[in-house]
Amino acid sequence: MSGSPCITVLGNGGFGTALSMVQHWNGHDVRLWGHDAEYTATIAATRENPRYLTGVSVPEGIDVSSDAPRLLAGADAVLLVVPTQHVRSVLDVIGAEIPDDCPVVVCCKGMEEVTGLVPSAICQRMLPGRPVYVLTGPCHAEELAREQPASLVLAGPGAGLPGLQGMLSGPTFRVYRSEDALGAALCAAVKNIIAIAAGICDGLGLGDNAKAALLTRGLAEMTRFGESLGAKRETFYGLAGIGDLITTAVSPHGRNRALGERIGHGETLQQILASTCKVVEGVWTCRAVLTQAETLGVRMPVAEEVSRVLFEDRAPKEAVRALMGRDLCEE
């Protein structure tokens, strides 16, 4: 590609806004799309995103709009950063505007509750002919927007990887490459369930020993599940897997961990969801993952207990007792 690449970011939540800022600092022509025309116009006018990313200024050079045809015209790459449960509806409306052969980089993390599909699989079905990639790893919007360094993995078709990797990388944004797009997407989805469990652990005040054990056994569940679907084991021990799991499970910025902590403190799922406009993907991913795990015969005891706490009113302390009282086995 010659000149300054044009990158269109679909989704002006916290992560989408932060990614648009990073790519602007990388010297690219960046356009940021939002579905809520009124709120998007507010961001464009004030250069602030108070609903999703407080305390930072959106650079003037980023074109912020809800005019998808204009923002997508001539795009060299599209970063898809809408909530997983809305990927299908967004692509239904504006997917046809994405230029032919334009790479679509999926940055949302989760699994569609009804179908069990990861976002990249939805894109492959709805955007025939466009190369689809997954960009994931330990990466909080709040830190990206303040130019703190982050390293991620870009996974997808091998031929286009090096060029896209080079385009997206920058001084504070290091991108590694992988051809295991399925594994990267599954890591991004399933780690959110384990992060909810980690938050519950924090809310109950169970200590470092318990949390370390939880994350270790949770990673084992993630890996078993991914391998059963054809993903590569090593992907779960890299940035997409253990890297993202650590960040999501320990950071105060992590939405899934924060939800779990509030549950550990005694709030209900309904109370928590009613109090925030931010999407907590692990909630919707949990059922989709366990449905597939049951079909595949994959053991996921941590995820099962998270589901019981979220949807069956199981007391968090009872879930802990159930996990600790399971039959003894080899690691």
pLDDT in tens, 34-91: 999 999 999 999 999 999 999 999 999 999 999 999 999 999 999 999 999 999 999 9
Residue position matching structure tokens 């579905």:
35
If asked whether residues 141 and 199 sit together in one domain, one would say: no
Query: 243: domain CATH number?
Result: 1.10.1040.10
If asked whether residues 155 and 199 sit together in one domain, one would say: no
90 lies in a domain? yes
The confidence band for 1, taking pLDDT boundaries of 50, 70 and 90, is very low
Do 55 and 43 form a contact (C-beta atoms < 8 A)?
Answer: no
Domains identified in the chain, total number: 2
**How confident is the model at residue 2, as a pLDDT?**
44
Query: 103: domain CATH number?
Result: 3.40.50.720
Active-site residue 232, yes or no?
no
DSSP string, 114-167: TT---HHHHHHHHSTTS-EEEEESS--HHHHTTT--EEEEEES-GGGHHHHHHH
pLDDT in tens, 235-245: 999 999 999 99
- Provide, rounded to the nearest whole percent, the portion of the chain with pLDDT above 90: 95
Domain's final residue, options 156, 179, 202: 179
The Cα 213–Cα 171 span in angstroms is 35
1 lies in a domain? no
**How confident is the model at residue 95, as a pLDDT?**
97
Parent domain of 236: 189-324
Domain's final residue, options 148, 179, 210: 179
Average pLDDT over residues 289-310: 97
The Cα 180–Cα 168 span in angstroms is 18
If asked whether residues 300 and 271 sit together in one domain, one would say: yes
The confidence band for 278, taking pLDDT boundaries of 50, 70 and 90, is confident
The Cα 231–Cα 222 span in angstroms is 11
If asked whether residues 16 and 119 sit together in one domain, one would say: yes
**98-115 burial by CB neighbour count: b if 16+ within 10 A, else e?**
beeebbbbbbbbbbbbee
If asked whether residues 200 and 167 sit together in one domain, one would say: no
265 lies in a domain? yes
At 33 the three-state DSSP class reads: strand
58 lies in a domain? yes
**How confident is the model at residue 147, as a pLDDT?**
97
* Partners of residue 19 on adjacent β-strands: none
**How confident is the model at residue 276, as a pLDDT?**
83
If asked whether residues 227 and 133 sit together in one domain, one would say: no
If asked whether residues 149 and 289 sit together in one domain, one would say: no
If asked whether residues 131 and 86 sit together in one domain, one would say: yes
From 109, 191, 278, 317, the catalytic residue: 191
Domain's final residue, options 179, 200, 223: 179
Is the confidence at residue 118, as pLDDT, over 80? yes
Average pLDDT over residues 192-216: 97
- Structure tokens given for 112: 């569609």
Name the pTM for this structure.
0.95
* Partners of residue 178 on adjacent β-strands: 155
The Cα 181–Cα 160 span in angstroms is 13
329 lies in a domain? no
**How confident is the model at residue 75, as a pLDDT?**
98
The Cα 307–Cα 304 span in angstroms is 5
Average pLDDT over residues 220-228: 98
If asked whether residues 30 and 172 sit together in one domain, one would say: yes
Do 33 and 12 form a contact (C-beta atoms < 8 A)?
Answer: yes
If asked whether residues 78 and 158 sit together in one domain, one would say: yes
* Partners of residue 155 on adjacent β-strands: 134, 178
The confidence band for 216, taking pLDDT boundaries of 50, 70 and 90, is very high
pLDDT in tens, 156-170: 999 899 999 999 999
330 lies in a domain? no
Do 54 and 141 form a contact (C-beta atoms < 8 A)?
Answer: no
Of 214-228, 246-260, 303-317, which range is least confident?
246-260
If asked whether residues 195 and 160 sit together in one domain, one would say: no
- Provide, rounded to the nearest whole percent, the portion of the chain with pLDDT above 70: 99
299 lies in a domain? yes
**How confident is the model at residue 179, as a pLDDT?**
97
Residues in the chain: 331
Beta strand 63-65 with 29-33 is parallel
**How confident is the model at residue 37, as a pLDDT?**
97
If asked whether residues 16 and 130 sit together in one domain, one would say: yes
Average pLDDT over residues 200-210: 97
Do 81 and 44 form a contact (C-beta atoms < 8 A)?
Answer: no
Is the confidence at residue 178, as pLDDT, over 60? yes
DSSP string, 169-194: -BTTEEEEEES-HHHHHHHHHHHHHH
**How confident is the model at residue 129, as a pLDDT?**
87
**Residue 327, burial from CB neighbour count under 10 angstroms (0-12, 13-18, 19+):** exposed
63 lies in a domain? yes
Q: What is the mean pLDDT of the chain?
A: 96
Q: Give whole-number Cα distances, 108 to 143, 198, 263, 274, 325, in Å.
A: 17, 21, 24, 22, 36
Average pLDDT over residues 222-248: 98
